[in-house]
Chains A and B, each alone.
Chain A
Amino acid sequence: MIITINGQSETLDQATLSIADLLKIKNVEMPEMVSVEYNGDILDRSVFNSTSVKDGDVIEFLYFMGGGRHSRSVYEF
């Protein structure tokens, strides 16, 4: 399926996956530091596992910023 992550179109091999899975495959090391905007709405952290990603979704990873360290640049557009 093809989704848009952080403004960029990406083709994923998986047929189904959750937001939590997506954070993993996108190598987000500290998901606690990320808010996820899913098709325009901020997702509650409690639904990361139960929300599945589908073709055409627009997803933004929005990072806390203002202290702390990340293993990689947080916004790689």
Chain B
Amino acid sequence: MNFTDDQIERYSRHILLKEVGGAGQEKLLKAKVLIIGAGGLGAPIALYLAAAGVGTLGIIDGDRVDLSNLQRQVIHFTADVGVPKVESAKDKMLQINPDINVITYQDIVYSKNILDIIKDYDFIIDGTDNFSAKFLINDACVMAKKPYSHGGILRFDGQTFTHTPGHACYRCVFKEPPPKNAVPTCSQAGVLGAIAGMLGTVQATEALKYILGIGDLLTDRLLMFNALKMNFRSVNLKKNPNCPICSATPTITELVDGELPVCDLKAH
């Protein structure tokens, strides 16, 4: 590939890495990654992947920027309040790197659209904050044999793992969404803003590693951290032979939409 002088300079710190080099940067520029949710997790993911020169970035979110988002969703600025999140995000992504292509979907993922959207992407990142979406994304990616990164944050904690075909999926760990009455009302869901950055950058790193084919992914491992103690650990996971979606004899064969708490639609 012929890099332009600007590209050589822009990506020089990647090219310098033995594990990346010109060939790796070329892979990044050719890669397509879908970010589901332009919120707390989506913000650092979108910015870092844009900066890294991931050539095509899809970003999907149905919301508009709200003042209460700005405490952690660093891709949106005060002047963006009221603007569709995907538009605000695209604007910043192109500012950080005009070299890439950003595709926006001002929508939420649901059973009827998700397979069609993810089919064009090499890697999917879950940056949502509700269980319905998380299970839907898992099921769709397993069905479509797409790798994806799961992420969740709450209060001072975060968790993430990476699924690739043949490895443990979300349902291997969490068989089904928690009962509706167990999910506390969203008004009480506080989160320390910087946690989103901590976890989102881990997810972005996983996407980059996957595209580059380097290192060990968080497959069959759940990485968890608590920021108050600033303690990180990972727990090994096993693929569940009786998993309702990824086992040899799945019981779930088509996608269904879960019921969403009204305000839970808002991504982190």
Q: Do chains A and B touch in the complex (CB under 8 A)?
A: yes
- Which residues of chain A have a CB within 8 Å of any CB of chain B? 7, 30, 32-33, 35, 37, 40-42, 44-45, 60, 62-70, 73-77
Of B26-34, B65-73, B231-239, the one touching chain A:
B231-239
Decide if A67 touches B264 in the complex (CB within 8 Å). yes
A9 CB to nearest chain B CB (Å): 14
Residues of B within 8 A of A75 (CB): 157, 159, 224-226, 231
A38 CB to nearest chain B CB (Å): 11
Contact of B182 among A32, A60, A74 (CB under 8 A): A32
Q: Does B183 contact A (CB under 8 A)?
A: yes
Decide if B235 touches A64 in the complex (CB within 8 Å). no
CA of A37 to CA of B173, assembled, Å: 8
Contact of A60 among B178, B179, B235, B264 (CB under 8 A): B235
Give per-residue flags for B170-184: 1 if the beta carbon is below 8 A from chain A beta carbons, else 0: 001111001100111
Residues of B within 8 A of A40 (CB): 236, 238
CA of A41 to CA of B222, assembled, Å: 13
Residues of B within 8 A of A37 (CB): 173, 235, 237
Which parts of B165-201 form the interface with A (CB within 8 Å)? 172-175, 178-179, 182-186, 188-190
Decide if B238 touches A69 in the complex (CB within 8 Å). no
Decide if B226 touches A76 in the complex (CB within 8 Å). yes
A73 touching B182 in the complex, CB below 8 Å, given contacts A40-B236, A64-B174? no
B181 CB to nearest chain A CB (Å): 8
Contact of A44 among B173, B175, B225 (CB under 8 A): B175
Give per-residue flags for B108-131: 1 if the beta carbon is below 8 A from chain A beta carbons, else 0: 000000000000000000001111
Contact of A63 among B131, B159, B185 (CB under 8 A): B159
Decide if A73 touches B157 in the complex (CB within 8 Å). yes
